[in-house]
Each structure stands twice: as C-alpha cells, then as structure tokens.
Amino acid sequence: MHKVNFTAHNRLDLLECGAMFFPALIGAIDAAETEVHLETYIFALDAVGQSVQAALQRAAARGVRVRVIADWLGSGGKVSKQLARQFRAAGVEFRSFNPWFIRGVARTHRKLCVVDQQVAFIGGININDDLFSDDYASAPLPAPRWDFAVQVSGPMVAIMQREVELQWIRVGNLELRARWQRFKSARTRLAPHSEAPVLAGLVVRDNLRNRRTIQRAYLLALAGAQHSAVLANPYFAPGRELRDALARAARRGVDVTLLIGVGQFRIQDAVAHSFYPKLLKAGVKVVEYRKTQLHAKVAVVDDSWSTVGSSNCDGLSLFVNQEANVVIRDAGFSVGLRDAIERGIADGIAVDPDAFGHIRWYERYWHGAAYFLYQGVLRIITLGKYTE
C-alpha cells in the first residue's frame, strides 16, 4: 500500500457547515494580495454562490490573479456558461471541467482553495447554499446540510498550491506534448516525505498516478485500528475491499460505527442496505442520519488518525472521479472531529441487527437488485476495471 506523505507543523482548523466555512473562505479571498485558486464541483448562482463570486471578482479588480475551476456537470451547463461570461468580464480566469464529457465520464469532485500560497481550504463543501438540497430538486432542508472543511496554514499549503496548479494545466487546452512536459515539471516539485513529527498530508485521486490512493489511506488506517473507528458518509457503496476492512476491524474488537446519510436517493439507500447484513453480523454499528442532508466525508480512527475531504465511500469517488482529502495524524484535531461526528450519530437512528434481519423478502430482493444494477453501471463506466 502507498503511504501518505505527511508534513509537520501545519495549523488545521475544522469548519463545520457553511456557517463557518463561507465567512472564512470569503475573508481569505478578500485578504488576498497575489493569487487565488479555487476548485469546486458545484458553483451555484444562489445567494451564497453570488457572495463568493463577488469576493473573487473584487480580488481580480484589485490586481489579484484569480483562477476558478468548476465542474460542468456539477454546476450545470447553463450556469457554467454564465459563470464563464461573468468571470471573464471581471478579469477572473475560469475553466469548466470536462464539458459535454469530451474527456470521458470522470468529474472533478474536489473542493479546494489556495490563497497567496499561505492559506488553503479543503473538504466536502460546495459553493452553494446549505439550506437547500444540492440535487436538481433544490428542495428546502429542515436544517443546514451537514458537512465539513478544513482551513490549512503551514507547509502543506505549498503542496496544495502545486496540486491546484497541476489541475489548471490538466483542464487547459495545451497541446499534448506541452501538457506532458508541464505535468512532469509540476510533479517533480512536490515536497518529499517528512521525517519530522507528522501532522497532515494531501491525498488526491485521479486516473493517472493516484488511482486508489484515498481508498488505500482508509485501508491502511483500518488495518492498524486498535480501539475505534467512526466514519460518516452520505453515499455508502464501497467495493468489497473496504467493506471487508471494516468487518475485519469489528471482528477483532475495534468499535466500528458507520454514520450513513439516507433519504436523498432511493436507489442509493437500497444499495447501502444491501451491505448491512454482513456488516451488522461482523459487529459494525450502522446509524442512519435523517436530520437533514448529510454531505460529510469524514472519519476518525483511534482518536489519532482522521480524514476530511471530498471523497465519498462509493464507486464513483473511489474509482472514477477526481477527489481530494486531507489525512491528519493529530490527537487534538481527531478528537474534535470525533466529537462532531458523535453529535451526528446522536441525531441518527441506529439500525437494529435483529429487526433488519427480519425485513420482508421483497425488500431484500430490491436491495440486491439495486446493488446488481449499481455494480453493472460502475463496470460500464470504468470499462470493466471496477471489481468487487
């Protein structure tokens, strides 16, 4: 397994939901003096998106170089065109990721921002109002969408800066040879492994050299778990390798709890339910979050290892899309994140193993059929590379 390259002496601040994230993000952009790089899957033109857009345009107006990448599918074709036009008029450089699927099916699902090579943000929060569902229904939510980001300062910001520079190159229109030369140059500037006391590392997933890095980070942490592991994820549909790692940890006595978002997509819920019997039998505790839309992709192992990022525990995030997580080895940060996850667990409903074991036959059939369909779609999307 590939290990995470950690850097020491970073400062990391956990930001819960948009109420904490957007003021910090806009404040950093308003303080920018030289450059801003922003990547997101969804850039909505709602009130929140317009406030971030205005901050980016204010920065460009005072001479800051501002570059924005938004996913074409996540933001929508119409919004992407509107953003391109408005940003261009304001002096902001804007690129839409993979319009019309011209570069295959992969999307950029990353949420990153780096300002002046001094402060950075990473996590799961899109540029949209968290009081409304982030699907096409855009329905009002009973409470703000539950999600996390991390504000970073310290040596890891330089690594994040090089990653966003590389992504700008990827999305550009350079001819192939020039793209490859700049790709190699950007890769060789990455910081080496730190031998100092470790704190945080950037873990990205792409379809080049980092195809399974985020999944491997999870597997390595679970393999070494001794006491506890808590994971919160909205779209739980990992491959067998990760499911088995969770079950093995539980069977050897680790207290494993899964907090899973439900209620947004019926077929996604059915796929997740197809995994419950084996996980529950192994001793994994499964809790369904129903307070509002769960969008967090976070985990804590043994109160010493934790991760926050954009990657869901599903086939699209782990095997198809471009993702970015931060992995943290720091007890103080990990305990704080665990406390936040436990508040979410308290708002959830625990799945009773006995009751779930007696669900009706046609419900079991629906769960299995949903998983069979899901597995088939993933195999088509990945050209047969997705395996159980």
| Catalytically annotated residues | 109, 111, 116, 295, 297, 302
What's the CA gap between 46 and 3, in Å, rounded? Answer: 40
Burial 283-313 (b: 16+ CB within 10 A, else e): bbbbbbbebbbbbbbbbbbbbbbbbbbbbbb
Judge whether 144 and 131 are in contact, CB under 8 Å. yes
Kindly give, in sequence order, each residue whose CB lies less than 8 Å from that of residue 225, ignoring residues fewer than 6 positions away: 249, 254, 256, 301, 302
Distances (CA, A) of 225 to 3, 218, 311, 325: 16, 10, 21, 19
126, two tokens: 């899109």
Q: Using the 8-state DSSP alphabet, how is residue 258 labeled?
A: E
Angle at 83 between CA 173 and CA 294, to 5 degrees: 105
Burial degree of 364 (CB within 10 A; 0-12, 13-18, 19+): middle
97, two tokens: 């990721």
Minimal CA–CA distance to 301: which of 281, 331, 262, 271?
A: 331
SS3 3: coil
What's the CA gap between 39 and 384, in Å, rounded? Answer: 29
What's the CA gap between 148 and 308, in Å, rounded? Answer: 7
DSSP string, 31-47: T-SSEEEEEES-B--SH
